Chain A
């Protein structure tokens, strides 16, 4: 399990190569990359600042990955999340999951992203021509947890 919260950019190919290194049992890798979108909620975003809660962030992601690892027998996982100031088109987050077969890899990658979005303590601030604004949480992100069929009390894995 690799978890990194950092300002620097990441290279997806080298991260996937590292995940597969010396692992002949790996048969599938699914990677999700989230990027800064220029248009959001009707405004043009010129930059985005990401704040986080050092310590809690890493701990929360670790619990999410442990749950996914137990549920889908993952062979390896890399989660990288950037913080600081980013520009449109910049990479924000990478979740890469290695398994023996693809269905587990797709599911685990989505599970980790769904929980990261609703429980890892990151906050986005968008800079637009009208000024800066904090991005509001979307109910659909919380609703997305429903498909993993866990009760409300388990929806934040750190509990």
Chain B
């Protein structure tokens, strides 16, 4: 399954990447599973994408929880808590 992954703000800087086009294995079905999959890329990834209150996720541009299901061609984003206004 091919998906787009985007990173913003401090996460983008820490990972030194803003956008990934990924082909994910069949067993990766949720955004939470995708997060764990990306954490295996190395220490920086595991640290930056660590689960917790400082990590937010969006699926197709809507804020979601880790249980949300991925679909082919979907857009996933990881970012820190927002600080606009």
Contacts and interface: CB of A to CB of B under 8 A. Distances in A.
A92 B85 CA distance: 7
Contacts of B64: 159
A93 B63 contact: no
Contacts of B20: none
Interface residues of B, number: 17
Interface in B36-61: 58, 61
The A interface, classified by DSSP as helix, strand, loop or mixed, is mixed
B84 A117 contact: yes
A103 interface: no
B80 interface: yes
B85 A122 contact: yes
A56 B58 contact: yes
A56 B81 contact: no
Interface in A50-69: 50-53, 55-56, 59-60
B82 A121 contact: yes
A123 B61 contact: no
Contacts of A52: 84
Interface residues of A, number: 30
B61 A120 contact: no
29 contacts: A51-B8, A52-B84, A55-B61, A56-B61, A60-B63, A93-B84, A113-B85, A116-B84, A116-B85, A117-B82, A117-B83, A117-B85, A118-B82, A119-B63, A120-B84, A120-B85, A121-B8, A121-B58, A121-B77, A121-B79, A122-B82, A123-B8, A123-B79, A123-B83, A125-B9, A134-B80, A134-B83, A136-B83, A158-B61
Interface of B: 6, 8-10, 58, 61-64, 77, 79-85
Given A59-B62, A93-B84, A121-B82, 13 more contacts: A53-B58, A60-B63, A116-B85, A117-B82, A117-B84, A121-B84, A122-B82, A122-B83, A123-B84, A124-B83, A156-B63, A158-B61, A158-B63
